[in-house]
Structure 1
């Protein structure tokens, strides 16, 4: 039920973002992070945002709580929309997640932050992990 609610909120955010900010721009994003835990998990990583012909380095950190067991390396890429400037990507992205990887698994996620930036990401997860948890991921420009 929580997963269904998360998907509905993400879809609503995409709809609102598409209707309210026609002047906003889109960029591409690549992130890579390591997640590990036992009930409480942690995430640390980095990435890049390419926006209006420039590349900006990113820092990622976060926590999760729920059924989390193991560790994994995740590499995602995709697009970020509804941003006017690179700083709009900064913030906390929250989601409920469910997944498993034994050696290698696919990942896809849509995330929204408090500024209205919407990330649509897909990629791979490598490792041994089982998770059904709530995640909070903070993303910021590396200065």
Structure 2
């Protein structure tokens, strides 16, 4: 009897999870981030989420640790998927990376937060920046 109950509960949980994913939607996002650092870096910026015909202002902040030297401005835009409401974009996104920019460069990244929102971004980076670090990026609705 317990095995049947457990199987039924697992099936119900799977069905509920797939129904939530099936209703997930997508939108577009664009933002500008200024980053600077000397071993420990900080970043901040702002942007806009476009979702279901409305625009939502965003605040961006973050820290990085590792080899960080210089300053840069990055403008990213792209698609955000697997969200049900604008607040699903808010959260912490983590990344590890390495790179260098002198003048202008191109960047692309895919990030996921704790709510399952997926950002697929590309854009341009301007400035002098050398990094091999772990970064955290926090996005919040204003």
Q: Which residue of 1 aligns with 2:87?
A: 87
Aligned-residue CA RMSD in angstroms? Answer: 1.7
Normalised by the size of structure 1, how large is the TM-score? 0.85
Consecutive unaligned residues in structure 2, runs of 5 or more: 1-17
- Within 5 Å, give how 1:37-52 maps onto structure 2: 37-52=37-52
Q: Which residue of 2 aligns with 1:101?
A: 101
Q: Which residue of 2 aligns with 1:133?
A: 133
Aligned to 2:92, the other structure's residue is in SS state: strand
Rounded to whole Å, the distance in 2 between the matches of 1:107 and 1:117 is 20
Shift of 1:27: 0.4
Alpha-carbon deviations, 1:45-76, whole Å to 9, x = none? 00000000000000000100001000000000
Q: Which residue of 2 aligns with 1:116?
A: 116
Please say which structure displays the higher CA radius of gyration. 2
Normalised by the size of structure 2, how large is the TM-score? 0.86
Structure 1 stretches of 4+ moved >4 Å: none
Work out the number of aligned pairs and report it: 126
Q: Which residue of 1 aligns with 2:60?
A: 60
